Structure 1
Amino acid sequence: MNSSLLKLHEIKRALNEKFYERESEVEGILVALLARQHMLMIGPAGTAKSALSAELAKIVQGTEYFQWLLTRFSTPEEVFGPLSLKDLEEGVYKRNTATKMPEAHLVFLDEIFKANSAILNSLLTLINERLFYNDGSPIEVPLMSVIGASNEYPEDGEGLEALFDRFLLRFEIDFIADESNFVSMMKDEGAAVEMPAMQLDELVQLQELTDQVKIPDEVYETLSFIRRELQDEGIQPSDRRFKQSLGILQAKALINQRETVQIADLAILENALWETLDQKEAVSNIVRKYAKDHAAQTLASIETEANEVFDAAKRDQSTEAGMEAIQKFQSLADDLLKLKETAPNRAEEIDRLQTQVNTMKNEVESSRLDVEYLGATNQKKNGTDDQHGVFFRM
C-alpha cells in the first residue's frame, strides 16, 4: 500500500482517538482537504471546532496555517494583511500578506458569518477562485481548504448566502453525549495519543490520487435519481454543487483505501446537497435511502452466508469442515469491518452482526477443539488412526 495512504489511515485513527464523538467531522475535514474543498462546522462554543482544525495543521507539516476569529468590527488588515506603507508612499495600494490568509494552505475562520462587507467580497473570491486581488492584480493563492465555524446559522437577509454556499460540506456539531467519553475528555486521556505526521508534498500526492479514483456508472445514475427526488421535494442544488460533490466521493473512497467509489459513499452527501436549513432533514432522508440500499444488501448477504456456513458446519461434523467454516467466518468479519468504514451510519447493525458472526465462529472453533481432543483420546485408547469424530455435541 502507498505509504501516504498508510499515514492517512493513521491520521484518521489518531484524530478519532484524540477527539471524542467527532468521527463524522474528522472524516469531513480530511475529505475536504483531499478534495480541495471547504467545510463548515456549526455548533456551540467549546465543541473542539478550532482544536480539530489546528491539530490537522500540525499534522501536515510544511503547511502555512491561518486562524482568525471574525467579529463585526474585524478589518481587512486582520485577515489579508496591512497596507505596505512604503508602497503607499508611491501611490501603490498593496497589502503585505505575510502570515495572513492569502499565503495559507489551510485556514480556520471562527464565527465566519460575522464577516462584514469590507471583508466579504475579497473573502468570497479567495475561497471560490483561489485568487486575491492585491493593488488590483489577481494573485493565485496556495489555499487548499477553509474550515469555517459558527455558533449559529446565518439569518435571512444578512447577505451571507453566497458565503454559506462556498462551503460544500456542512456539519452540525454538539457537546459530547456519552458519559464515558465525557469522563475521558475530562481526564484529558486524548492528550496521550501520539499524533502521526505527514509532509505537504505527501498531501499533494494524496490529492492527486483522489483525482484518479474511479466513479462507476452506477454512482452517476444514483446521483441522477437523488437529484430527481430532491427536485420532487422542491430542492434544487446547483449543477456546480453536484459536480463538486464528485470530488467528495472520490476523497471518501480514498480515505477508505479504495480505488473506486461505492454507492455507500453517497451517504456523506447528506452534508452537501441542502441549501437551506429547512431542507436538511429531507435531503438527509433521501440521500441515506439511496446510500443505505447498498449497505443493507451487503449486511443481508453477509448474514445469510454466515447462517449457511454455520448450518453446513453442523451437518458436516468433520474437523476439515470446521476449519473451513472458521476461515469463512473470519472473512465475513473482515468484510463487516470494511463495511463499517464505508457505512458509519449503520454501525449499530454492523456491530450486532459482528457479534453474531463471532459467536458462530467461537462455537465452531470450540467444538473443533473438543473433537480433536476426543479423537486423540480415542486413538490413544484404541491404537487407531481414525481422524474422524463427532463434530458437534448437542
Structure 2
Amino acid sequence: MTSTAVAEPVQHATHESDFAKLDELRRRLNETLRGKAEVVENVLVCLLARGHLLLEDKPGLGKTTLAKALADGVGGQFARVQCTPDLLPSDVTGFNIFNQKSHEFEFREGPVFADVLLADEINRATPRTQSALLEAMAERQVTYDGIRYSLSPQFFVIATQNPIDQHGTYPLPEAQLDRFAMKLSIGYPDRSHELHMLGAAIGDVSKADEQGLAPVFSEQELAQMQREVAAVTVAESVRDYIVRLGEATRSHRLIELGLSPRGLLTLQRAAQAKAFLDHREFVTPDDIQEVARPVLSVRLGVEGDEPTSIIKEILEKVSVPTE
C-alpha cells in the first residue's frame, strides 16, 4: 500500500465492550471457517456497512455454514430460503390469505420479514423470484397488492450461489447484483485446516450446531455501531480518489459496466467500516484498496473470468492521495 496517512488511536462513542463483542464474532467466524481470516474480515465489513453479502463458490466449501454462524452472532429473527426453480416470488415476500372469520384478506409475511435472511443457492431460483428480493434489498420494504410493508431496519441478506457453469443455475441480473455490497469467494482450505476439520468431526454430535449459539450483539448495539460507521470521516482527497477509481472502471476497455454512483457510495461505506474495525475515525486510501476487490467484483460487467486482475490494474494505475 502507498498511503502515508498515520493511523492514531481515537475515542469512539462505542464502548470497548462493544469492540470486544466484534472480536468475539470474529473469533466465532474464524472457528467456523478456519484459515480464511481475510474472508471473515470482509464479512464483518459488509455487516457494519449495512450491505448485503453474496458468497459465490463451489458447493461444499462452507458458504451456508458461514452464513448461519453470522446470523447466529447477529441475533434477531433468522429465516432461510432454499432457492429452487419452483420457488415463487410470494414464497419470499409473502401473500394475501382469506380470513374466514373476518371475511377479509390478510397479509401473511414471508421470510424477508426476518432480520437476517439466508437465500441459499440464490441462482437456482428463476429470474422472477430473484427479482422479488430486489425492492426488499434496496428499500427494506415490500409492496404487495399496492400496499407497502416495512422490513426490519437491520434487514440483512446473505445469499449463496454456485458458479454459473453449474447445472440448473440462472445468472443474477446486474440490477440485483448491484444491491449486494460485496461478493466473496471462500476457496479450498489448506491441508492443515482440512486435517483439523476431519479430526474435529470425529464423534462430534454437538447440540450447539443444531440449536445455534447465543447472539453476540443485541439489535440496538449493532444499529449503534452501524451509525458510527456512517459517521467515520472521509477526507475530500480520499473521496476524490474513490471518484477517480470509478471513472477508471468506466473507461476501461474490458469493462462493459463501470462503477455506478451507488457503487461509489458502497465502496465508501465499506471503507468506513474497515476503518471502524481498525478503531479509526477516518478513512485512508489503504482502506479503499483493501475493500475494492470484493466491492468491485460484484458489480463490474467483465467478459470472462472474475475481474481480479483488472481491479488490480486499476488500483495500480490510479494515483493515491498522499495527504
TM-score (norm 2): 0.78
Name the counterpart of 1:175. Answer: 188
Matched, 1:221 2:232: no
Structure 2 unpaired stretches of 5+ = 1-14
Query: In 1, are the aligned partners of 2:123 and 2:170 still within 8 Å (CA)?
Result: no
Amino acid at match of 2:237: E
Matched, 1:263 2:266: no
Q: Which among 63, 80, 83 is matched to residue 67 of structure 1?
A: 80
When residues 246 and 159 of structure 1 are mapped into structure 2, their CA distance, relative to the original with a 3 A threshold, is closer
Larger radius of gyration: 1
Amino acid at match of 1:185: M
Query: In 2, are the aligned partners of 1:110 and 1:150 still within 8 Å (CA)?
Result: yes
Name the counterpart of 1:153. Answer: 164
TM-score (norm 1): 0.65
Name the counterpart of 1:31. Answer: 45
**2:316 and 2:244 mapped to 1: Cα distance?**
11
When residues 147 and 89 of structure 1 are mapped into structure 2, their CA distance, relative to the original with a 3 A threshold, is same
Name the counterpart of 1:111. Answer: 121
* Cα root mean square deviation, aligned: 3.3
**1:49 and 1:217 mapped to 2: Cα distance?**
37
- Greater relative CO, 1 or 2 (CA 8 Å, sep 6+): 2
Alignment deviations for residues 201-220 of structure 1 (CA, whole Å, 9 cap, x no partner): 11111111111111122321
**1:76 and 1:196 mapped to 2: Cα distance?**
30
Amino acid at match of 1:170: K
Partner secondary structure for residue 142 of structure 2: strand
When residues 133 and 165 of structure 1 are mapped into structure 2, their CA distance, relative to the original with a 3 A threshold, is same
Structure 1 unpaired stretches of 5+ = 298-394
Alignment deviations for residues 321-355 of structure 1 (CA, whole Å, 9 cap, x no partner): xxxxxxxxxxxxxxxxxxxxxxxxxxxxxxxxxxx
Cα deviation for residue 91 of structure 1 reads 6.0
**2:63 and 2:97 mapped to 1: Cα distance?**
33
Greater percentage in helix: 1
Percent identity over paired residues: 25
Query: In 1, are the aligned partners of 2:32 and 2:66 still within 8 Å (CA)?
Result: no
Matched, 1:281 2:308: yes
Name the counterpart of 2:93. Answer: 80
Alignment deviations for residues 152-172 of structure 1 (CA, whole Å, 9 cap, x no partner): 138999672322222121112
Alignment deviations for residues 244-274 of structure 1 (CA, whole Å, 9 cap, x no partner): 2211111111112211112111121111224
**1:87 and 1:256 mapped to 2: Cα distance?**
56
**1:35 and 1:170 mapped to 2: Cα distance?**
14
Amino acid at match of 2:198: M
Alignment deviations for residues 118-162 of structure 1 (CA, whole Å, 9 cap, x no partner): 423432111111111133201111153211111113899967232
Partner secondary structure for residue 215 of structure 1: coil
Alignment deviations for residues 350-373 of structure 1 (CA, whole Å, 9 cap, x no partner): xxxxxxxxxxxxxxxxxxxxxxxx
**1:131 and 1:12 mapped to 2: Cα distance?**
30
Cα deviation for residue 182 of structure 1 reads 0.9
Q: Which among 267, 270, 289 is matched to residue 245 of structure 1?
A: 267
Alignment coverage as a number of residue pairs = 290
**2:128 and 2:146 mapped to 1: Cα distance?**
16
Amino acid at match of 1:220: R
Cα deviation for residue 196 of structure 1 reads 7.2
When residues 137 and 73 of structure 1 are mapped into structure 2, their CA distance, relative to the original with a 3 A threshold, is same
